[in-house]
Amino acid sequence: MPLRRRRRNRKRDLNAIRRAEIVRHAVHVGAMDTEDRERWLVAYALHNQGAKDQVWGVIRAAQKMGGEITKAEAIAIVDEADAIPHAWGADRLAKHLGLTYDQRRTLRITTIGSVDVKKRDRREIRRVRDKVKKEQKRRANGARPRASITAQARAEGVSRTTIYRRKRSEQAKNMPDVTGVSAACLLSAEDGPVSPARGAGPSEGHFVSKKECPRSGRGVAATVGARGLSSSQTATTMAADIHASLPLELRLLALGLPMPEGLARAA
């Protein structure tokens, strides 16, 4: 297992962290110079009940806080801590120490609450602060602010559907008015898009209308019937230019038409 993951999954010793934070707060407020210095020492002893020599631990804690106590005072403090039935929560410990939210932020205390800002409010402040940090990080990476459709609709006093309709109208105006290629029934190889610069109208080259398109089933045969030609003769005429370089018998075979008896005998 990687070292980073092993450290992340390792359980933190909450009592050790709280003891260090209690000492920092006592030094910050000058607790050892006050008459109720036992408050911080009792809180320290309450979170040090697993030590082999709790009395020496309290004496050592008083020295870290910048003061001195006797062994008898340390014993009385340990007895008072042992009389507490269970460990205190974050806000209960903050009330005992008189820790404010400003002191909490200044001393970087995380396991003890505050007397003036409750847990729910601290969670909300932390959420907003993290959101601002993430937004600043995105701005530093080059991300641009994006206006919300809901906020825009609320500011203009309209619905979101109206905002979307306006955006589609603007996109339609900005799109170039250019048509595509001609229909699939194109008979000429020369074809291109029709733009306003060239003028409206059909593309260059001859094409067959929808009524004359072979897909309709009445296309070329109906048109040729009006001209007095059979459908086989019309097909031969349409493909004459394509197979003009081939011999007549090969052209008939390519078109799938019956070969006349005279050509068959000559072949």
Q: What is the pLDDT of residues 89-138, one digit of tens each?
A: 999 999 999 999 999 999 999 999 999 999 999 999 999 999 999 988 98
Residue 42: CB atoms within 10 Å: 21
160 pLDDT tier (thresholds 50, 70, 90): confident
What is the rounded distance in angstroms from the CA atom of residue 62 to the CA atom of residue 26?
9
Residue 150: CB atoms within 10 Å: 10
The HSE-up count of residue 195 (CA atoms within 13 Å, CB side) is: 4
Tens digits of residue pLDDT in 218-251: 444 444 444 455 555 555 555 455 556 667 777 7
Domain ranges of the chain: 11-122, 149-175, 210-266
Q: What pTM was computed for the model?
A: 0.52
pLDDT of 213 reads 47
Pair of tokens at residue 118:
């409750």
Closest to 210 in 3D by CA, of 222, 198, 199: 222
pLDDT of 21 reads 95
